Amino acid sequence: GEDVEQSLFLSVREGDSSVINCTYTDSSSTYLYWYKQEPGAGLQLLTYIFSNMDMKQDQRLTVLLNKKDKHLSLRIADTQTGDSAIYFCAERRGASYGKLTFGQGTILTVHP
Amino acid sequence: KAGVTQTPRYLIKTRGQQVTLSCSPISGHRSVSWYQQTPGQGLQFLFEYFSETQRNKGNFPGRFSGRQFSNSRSEMNVSTLELGDSALYLCASSLAGTSGATGELFFGEGSRLTVL
């Protein structure tokens, strides 16, 4: 299959860590991205990882990539209520440039 | 640096009409992609333009078309609108295809189309 799969919902308490998971199927994926979408808004690029990397850290965000299992995760440390949003993982396959394949999105709810 | 600008932000049309949406990319970006977002189908790729040429196309009927101008601005057109075309249409620009670029897409706020 060609799907990118994500769990639909995640609920955490403020101050805890959030881990959003994603699996992809295409071994030709070159870059993998995480986007955030708030209500009524477009997509905001959070971070990306190149397929030859295992991990990337950017302030509160940590991306882990397991190429063998085709598994990608996004960890948000010290989650805040402002992090409540929909998070999408996306893959770029080969040299497909502007064409990304998105997962269905994970709705993250952060409770005070 | 200004972000990706899409106009109009909201519009309402009736079945059978046609619509044109506009996108101005980030300055210096030559690649413009269009996506359709619906609750049922999620984010689906429509097409991508680079230097006025369509470089990639998704699985949408011929009613959906686009073009890119010499200043990299892009338009997409949907003819003979159907109820199912109601969606958020997102435009994204990138340096993809430019030497050394890592291909991140930067999205606009979208144009929300309602077809009655």
Residue B1: its pLDDT value, please?
65
- The torsion defined by the Cα of B11, B14, B20 and B23, in degrees rounded to 10, comes to 30
Give the contacts of A6 (CB within 8 A, at least 6 positions apart): A20, A21, A22, A87, A88, A89, A103, A104, A105, A106
What is the chain B residue with the closest CA to A86? B42
Out of A42, A92, A99, the one facing B107 most closely (by C-beta) is A42
> What pLDDT shows up at residue B99?
56
Q: Please, what sign has the CA dihedral across residues B61, B73, B55, B33?
A: negative
Q: What residues in A contact B56, CB-CB < 8 Å?
A: 96-99
Per-residue pLDDT tens listing for chain A (112 residues): 458 999 999 999 999 999 999 999 877 778 899 999 999 889 999 999 988 889 999 999 999 999 999 999 999 999 999 999 999 999 988 766 788 999 999 999 999 9
Choosing among B30, B104, B106, which should be mutated to test the A contact, i.e. which has the most A CBs within 10 A? B104
Tell me the two tokens of residue B52. 């006025």
CA atoms within 13 A on the CB side of A6: 27
- With CA atoms as reference, report the closest residue to A41 among B110, B22, B26: B110
**pLDDT bucket at B48, cuts 50 / 70 / 90:** very high
**Residue B98: what pLDDT?**
61
For residue A99, which residues of chain B lie inside 8 Å, CB to CB?
Answer: 33, 45, 48, 56, 58
Please count the residue pairs, one from chain A and one from chain B, whose beta carbons lie less than 8 angstroms apart: 66
Of A22-31, A103-112, B54-63, B70-79, give the lowest mean pLDDT range. A22-31
